[in-house]
Every structure is written in structure tokens, then in C-alpha cells.
Amino acid sequence: MKNFNDLELIIFDLDGTLVDSSVDITNALNYAITAYGIKPLAVDDTIKIVGEGLTRLIEKIIGDNNASIKDSALDRFIQYYSEHLADFTKPYPGVTKTLEMLGGYKKAVISNKREALSKKLLEQVGLIKFFDAVLGSDSASERKPSPAPVKKVLEILGVEPHRAIIVGDSNFDIEAGKGAGVTTIAVTYGYRSREMLGSADFLIDNMNQLLTLIGKQ
């Protein structure tokens, strides 16, 4: 079992890890695509395809045949989502309490949502105060699963890779963490199946278990 005595930094994914934003993302997507006659999505449809960033999300939905509407659909999504970031979005159970208990550690968020939207969402759900750094899809040279944003956070906060962990709900978080040399922890309650998380160093079923894992309770 890994010893977390030298842990300095905990990096979190945002959507599917800290907050359940699936309803608000689905509503914004449907606002963006139904104007073009594309069938609306259910929440279950959305959570299967989120994670690679907004542009890729729109591309997956509209398909190659509708490439000409990509930019306008993207604009419609951003316009709507920016105004409805937290209509239904809330932190998952145990997240706020866990963050309060992690006061002795540096903490960061790395999302494949754009940085401005990530910060605005964290503000609206009352979590921004817990974090020393927030990076989005446009904050580093590449987004997850590239290790680039993880390496950037390590550099910004002055932490060696072996003193950091990343907590996320997808294979993108795991790959980004492993590529940067940090310990990976996957949550099983997010947007990806347990089977997709098998390469993580540790699995946790709720955020409270993070405290137990690192020896904080």
C-alpha cells in the first residue's frame, strides 16, 4: 500500500468528480443542436460522450455530415451554458466536507471545460475557495489525456510528481496523471464505468474514501 506521508498536492477533475453537471450540460447541448433539427439528447446519452472538451463533444453529436454548423452550434452552446452553469449542478455527496478536511494540502482542478467556465462553475457551487489553481482545456498546450496540464500545475505550485495525486472519473484523468508521474485515483460514481477505470492506482466509491485512503481519517 502506498504511503501518502509525503503528499503535498491533490489535483481534481471537475465534471463527474467534484460536481454532477450532466443535466446542465445536456440542456445546453439540446439548446445548441435542436435548432438544426438534430434529435435532443437524454442525460444518459451525454455522460457517455463528455470528457474530451466542448469542441469534440459538439463534433461527436453533429457528425461529419454537419460540419458546417459546428461553429454556430458551439456558439449557441457557450451562450446558453454560460448563463445556466449551475441551474441543476451540485457537488457530489461528501465533496465539500472532504475539501474542508484537506486544508493542509495544495489543491488544484484540471478540467477539459474551458478555464473561464470552470472557474465560474466552481464559484457558483461554492468550491472555488478551496483551490490554489484551476486549469481548463485552454490553459495548457494540450488537454487531458495529455499530461501537459498536470505538468503545468506541478510547475505552478512547485510540487514534485511523486508528491501529488490526481482524482478523476475517466481514463483521460488516469492517462494524464500517469503520463506526468503522479499517483492516480479514480472515482466510480462519475461518468465512466468501473471497467474503464481499471488502470488507476486506486479506486474509491465516494469522496469520503479519499480521506481514508490518504490517512486523514
Catalytic residue among 6, 13, 132, 205: 13
Burial string for 141-175 (b: 16+ CB within 10 Å, else e) reads eebbbbbbbbbbbbeebebebebbbbbbbbbbbbb
Q: What distance in Å separates the CA atoms of residue 128 and residue 121, rounded to the nearest whole number? A: 8
Nearest alpha carbon to residue 196 among 178, 179, 172: 172
Residue 67 to residue 184: CA distance in whole angstroms: 36
- As a whole number of angstroms, the distance between CA 95 and CA 18 comes to 6
Decide if 143 contacts 175 (C-beta within 8 A). no
Cell triple for residue 104? 493542509
Is 13 catalytic? The answer is yes
**Residues recognised as catalytic:** 13
